[in-house]
Chain A
Amino acid sequence: MHQGDGAPAIEIRDLRKVYGDKAAVDGLTLTVPQGCFFGFLGPNGAGKTTTIKMLMGLAPPSSGSIHILGLPMPERSLEIKQQIGLVPDESMLFDHLTGGEFIEFVGRIYGLDRALARSRAYELLDLFELGSMPKKLIAEYSKGMRKRVAMAAALIHRPKLFLMDEPFEGVDAVGARLMKDILLDQVRHGATIFLTSHVLEVVERLCERVGIIHEGKLVAEGLMADMRGTAETLEDAFVRALGMENAAETLDWL
């Protein structure tokens, strides 16, 4: 039996990340059960990306603890990374590789042998409808295509947990639908998904649990139905959680 079986997929305790005298993440405590589709929401600069960077092992926390699949981060980071699939921000892609080459590269880094990595890479390209342009470089991809190739690469080693930073940003409706179907299928097979997103409609339709972060603190967390409460949409609940219902003002000359 694996050490992490039965443990929450993500367990964060009193996590802080301080830059100078400003806390980007301030005492975050959060548990994401295994097999859960979790949406992590917040306005710009709230601390979403800093949190996901700490989960990915890209930024060390100032204090607090992170356990992923029952293993402490960063002490067991290598084992953790082996079991997670990442959809990082676009700058982490290698622009001068083709989509197929990038996916194959990621597969090999996760320990797949070359032939298997290559065959899976081209199957994934077809699945994500990128197979018709095998020689196109990632540099030439549109934003949505870049997100698709990043997601395809995240799937190649069949991870138990996905960490996704804005996976639907810039993706068209068809692409988003395709990605959603694939992600839901992964959750049905027991995977856990932790994603940040600005697209609240997508989060509302996909996620069963949601957490809202504002100025580094978790201001709301729970099941989607509970979060929405009496509000008509998640957007209304989100704005209410942030206390910004009447925030909009206009300029005299505008």
Chain B
Amino acid sequence: MTHAGAIIWAQWRTFCHFNPRRGVTWTALVSLIWYGIWAAAAYSFLRVFSNPNELSIIRIALPGGLLLIFLYWQVVPLMLATTGSSLDLRKLRAYPIPDAQLFSIEVLLRITGGIEMVLILTGITIGAMLNPGLSRWSVLAAFIYVAFNLVIAVGLRDMLGRLLARKRIRELVFFLVILAVALPQLLLARQGMISPQLRLLVTRDAWSGWPWTATSNIMLGIQFWPSLMVLSAWTVGTLAFSRWQFSRTLAFDSDAANAHDTGDNRRSWWSEWFFYLPSAVFKDPLGALIEKEFRFLARSPRFRLVFLMGFTFGLVIWLPMVFVPRGPLGGFFVRNYLTVVCVYSLMLMSEVCFWNAFGFDRSAAQFYFLAPVPFKRVMAGKNLTALFFMLLEIAMVTAVCAVLRMPLGLHRFAEAYSVAAVVMIFLFSAGNLLSIRQARGVDPGNSIRTGTAGRLQALLFAIYPITFAPVLIAYLARYAFGSQAALYVVLGLDAIAGLIVYRIALDSAVRTADLTRESMIAALSTGVGPISN
């Protein structure tokens, strides 16, 4: 694995150069907290699984738990529109590296999509090894189950990546993925409890042909050899599938795949009307700036995917909470479904609208500094564009809620939109500063790769609680005074404070951009290492 050593070394050097010393420390600190929480959870699992008195619970929960691990590893990254680290094949294909080695490295990189699950499985396995009531072969089962998850993650990622690179079928594939993700939740929600269909997947008497039930059976000491054969067969089968998908990705030519669109210069009247809309409202150069943003973002696959996710995934994820209105939490979600989904959509959209406003169309950043337009107006153009798409997103969420006959009403509209407005003001403030200080180039054509660098993720870890604090205070006021009016009064005060913060942040961002334009343009014009996030 000489090549693997060289690639990992180059990536390590890239990481060291990419993150200044302060950034490395900060990223390490946040990672320590995040993975510390998961390590604590893993230790809890270790305690439970090592306790012989908990065998009855373990027997019931283990198959479903292993299925959740599988889903976390394979599906959650898709919901967050990220699939962890992967090789930048565009740069490595030109060199004499055997495909098999590239595949092996890619499989190992899939660990980055599920480190949390490796920790949990480690806790479960050590616990099982210490428990006399569980099988000593648990470590073998866990090892094969991890291998199965790593290998299938490569195949799914490659297949999805290629499909999402094709212009005309991208959206269709995306909806199929949503459907696949939504199905188990909807089955649960409609039955109110575990349905017969789900029983086949997750319970102790589930079909023993699933990889998670086979793993569970090995750990529980049930049908060892048949279960081992089932698990091995799944792993070998997915290995063949993933190897095939990886080869197809290596040979994939995205230019050829999208060639049918290149000659089509016809423009529909409505899209042109949509693009000209800003110029009808704002005078040039602001109108021209916003029109350019409209055109660019609407043509960016990455943006379109996130926009689509905003009003689809959000609804799907929170839907079961509405169908299961038991307890105070269920009741809260019924009352505040629209608000929760709107805020979730804003969070999803923030990556493409707030945190890195110059990253998508990075070549334009240089033009902004050269053009005879005040930079403040450029920022205003970016913010107005983001505002438009945010409002459109919320409108789509509302429309879908109405189609699904979700509980809506005037007061729910008012509350959801007020909360979303306040959150947006604070997101804009933080986003303007981050867009200048943490500018980095993003591939607008890449649908599934995350655009969030480690250091920015660490910053967001701290920024989100701050941006949501004003809304939280408003809800606390409603709780304390028992009045909806209290909520609106505090939200109003939040909005005023937010606008002041926005003004200060905008001025600061413009000053910073003026002082750091050189480093900002350099940061926007750079690519990544052999492994990209």
Q: Which residue in chain A gives the minimum CB-CB distance to B96? A: A81
A60-B250 Cα distance, complex, nearest whole Å: 10
User: Would B90 and A96 count as touching, CB distance under 8 A?
Assistant: no
User: Would B98 and A96 count as touching, CB distance under 8 A?
Assistant: no
Classify the secondary structure of A's interface with B: mixed
A61-B9 Cα distance, complex, nearest whole Å: 33
Size of interface on B: residues with Cβ below 8 Å to A:
35
B13 at the interface (CB under 8 A from A): yes
Q: Within 8 Å CB of A95, what residues of B?
A: 526-528
A105-B11 Cα distance, complex, nearest whole Å: 10
A101-B7 Cα distance, complex, nearest whole Å: 11
A155 at the interface (CB under 8 A from B): no
Q: Within 8 Å CB of B18, what residues of A?
A: 96
Q: Which residue in chain B gives the minimum CB-CB distance to A137? A: B17
User: Would B263 and A22 count as touching, CB distance under 8 A?
Assistant: yes
Interface residue ranges of A93-146 to B (CB < 8 Å) = 93-98, 101-102, 105-106, 108-111, 137, 139-140
With A88-B94, A94-B527, A97-B529: A22-B262 Cβ-Cβ less than 8 Å:
yes
Interface residue ranges of B1-52 to A (CB < 8 Å) = 2-3, 5-7, 9-10, 13-14, 17-18
User: Would B94 and A19 count as touching, CB distance under 8 A?
Assistant: no
User: Would A110 and B96 count as touching, CB distance under 8 A?
Assistant: yes
User: Would A139 and B253 count as touching, CB distance under 8 A?
Assistant: no
Q: Which residue in chain B gives the minimum CB-CB distance to A90? A: B527
Min CB gap B264→A, angstroms: 9
User: Would B10 and A91 count as touching, CB distance under 8 A?
Assistant: no
User: Would B255 and A94 count as touching, CB distance under 8 A?
Assistant: no
User: Would B94 and A58 count as touching, CB distance under 8 A?
Assistant: yes
A243 at the interface (CB under 8 A from B): no
Q: Which residue in chain B gives the minimum CB-CB distance to A140? A: B522
B91 at the interface (CB under 8 A from A): yes
Give a binary string over B105-145; 1 marks a CB under 8 Å from any A CB, 0 the rest. 00000000000000000000000000000000000000000
Min CB gap B442→A, angstroms: 14
B95 at the interface (CB under 8 A from A): yes
Q: Within 8 Å CB of A106, what residues of B?
A: 95
Q: Within 8 Å CB of B90, what residues of A?
A: 91-92
Which among A81, A93, A94, A101 has the highest number of chain B CB atoms within 10 Å?
A94
Q: Within 8 Å CB of B370, what residues of A?
A: none
A95-B441 Cα distance, complex, nearest whole Å: 12
Interface residue ranges of B253-305 to A (CB < 8 Å) = 253, 255-256, 259-263
User: Would B10 and A94 count as touching, CB distance under 8 A?
Assistant: yes
A21 at the interface (CB under 8 A from B): yes
Give a binary string over A20-49; 1 marks a CB under 8 Å from any B CB, 0 the rest. 111000000000000000000000000000
Q: Which residue in chain A gives the minimum CB-CB distance to B6? A: A108
Q: Which residue in chain B gives the minimum CB-CB distance to A139? A: B526
A71 at the interface (CB under 8 A from B): no
A60-B254 Cα distance, complex, nearest whole Å: 11
Q: Within 8 Å CB of B392, what residues of A?
A: none
Which among A58, A82, A95, A111 has the highest number of chain B CB atoms within 10 Å?
A95
A102-B526 Cα distance, complex, nearest whole Å: 15
Q: Which residue in chain A gives the minimum CB-CB distance to B253? A: A59
A82-B3 Cα distance, complex, nearest whole Å: 13
Q: Within 8 Å CB of A93, what residues of B?
A: 527
User: Would A97 and B13 count as touching, CB distance under 8 A?
Assistant: yes
Q: Within 8 Å CB of B10, what residues of A?
A: 94, 97, 101-102, 105
A213-B8 Cα distance, complex, nearest whole Å: 40
Min CB gap A238→B, angstroms: 27
A120-B298 Cα distance, complex, nearest whole Å: 48
A60-B14 Cα distance, complex, nearest whole Å: 30
Interface residue ranges of A49-76 to B (CB < 8 Å) = 56-60
User: Would B528 and A109 count as touching, CB distance under 8 A?
Assistant: no
User: Would B529 and A82 count as touching, CB distance under 8 A?
Assistant: no
With A59-B255, A97-B13, A139-B526: A109-B262 Cβ-Cβ less than 8 Å:
no
User: Would A20 and B260 count as touching, CB distance under 8 A?
Assistant: yes
A44-B6 Cα distance, complex, nearest whole Å: 36
A98-B9 Cα distance, complex, nearest whole Å: 13
Which among B3, B96, B262 has the highest number of chain A CB atoms within 10 Å?
B96
B93 at the interface (CB under 8 A from A): yes
Q: Which of B5, B251, B259, B526 contacts A60, CB < 8 Å?
A: B251
Min CB gap A178→B, angstroms: 24
B530 at the interface (CB under 8 A from A): yes
Which among A105, A106, A108 has the highest number of chain B CB atoms within 10 Å?
A105
Which among B95, B97, B262, B522 has the highest number of chain A CB atoms within 10 Å?
B95
A18-B10 Cα distance, complex, nearest whole Å: 35
A140-B521 Cα distance, complex, nearest whole Å: 11
Q: Within 8 Å CB of A78, what residues of B?
A: 96, 98
Min CB gap A75→B, angstroms: 13
A12 at the interface (CB under 8 A from B): no
User: Would B262 and A92 count as touching, CB distance under 8 A?
Assistant: no
With A19-B255, A94-B10, A94-B14: A109-B526 Cβ-Cβ less than 8 Å:
no
B508 at the interface (CB under 8 A from A): no
Min CB gap A57→B, angstroms: 7
A140-B310 Cα distance, complex, nearest whole Å: 37
A86 at the interface (CB under 8 A from B): yes
B525 at the interface (CB under 8 A from A): yes
Interface residue ranges of B491-533 to A (CB < 8 Å) = 522, 525-530
Q: Within 8 Å CB of A57, what residues of B?
A: 93-94
Q: Which residue in chain B gives the minimum CB-CB distance to A94? A: B529
Q: Which of A86, A91, A140 contacts B527, CB < 8 Å?
A: A91
Min CB gap A22→B, angstroms: 7
Task: Give me 13 A-to-B residue pairs in the complex whose CB atoms sit less than 8 angstroms apart, sorted by A's number.
Answer: A19-B259, A20-B260, A58-B94, A59-B255, A81-B95, A82-B96, A86-B94, A92-B94, A94-B529, A96-B526, A109-B96, A139-B525, A140-B522
Across the A-B interface, the 6 shortest Cβ-Cβ residue pairs: A20-B259, A19-B259, A108-B6, A81-B96, A139-B526, A95-B526
The residues of A with any CB-CB pair to B shorter than 8 Å are: 18-22, 56-60, 78-79, 81-82, 86, 88, 91-98, 101-102, 105-106, 108-111, 137, 139-140
Taking A21-B263, A94-B528, A96-B13 as given, write out 10 further A-B residue pairs in contact, using a Cβ cutoff of 8 Å, ordered by the A residue number: A18-B259, A20-B262, A22-B259, A92-B90, A92-B94, A94-B530, A96-B526, A96-B528, A105-B530, A109-B3
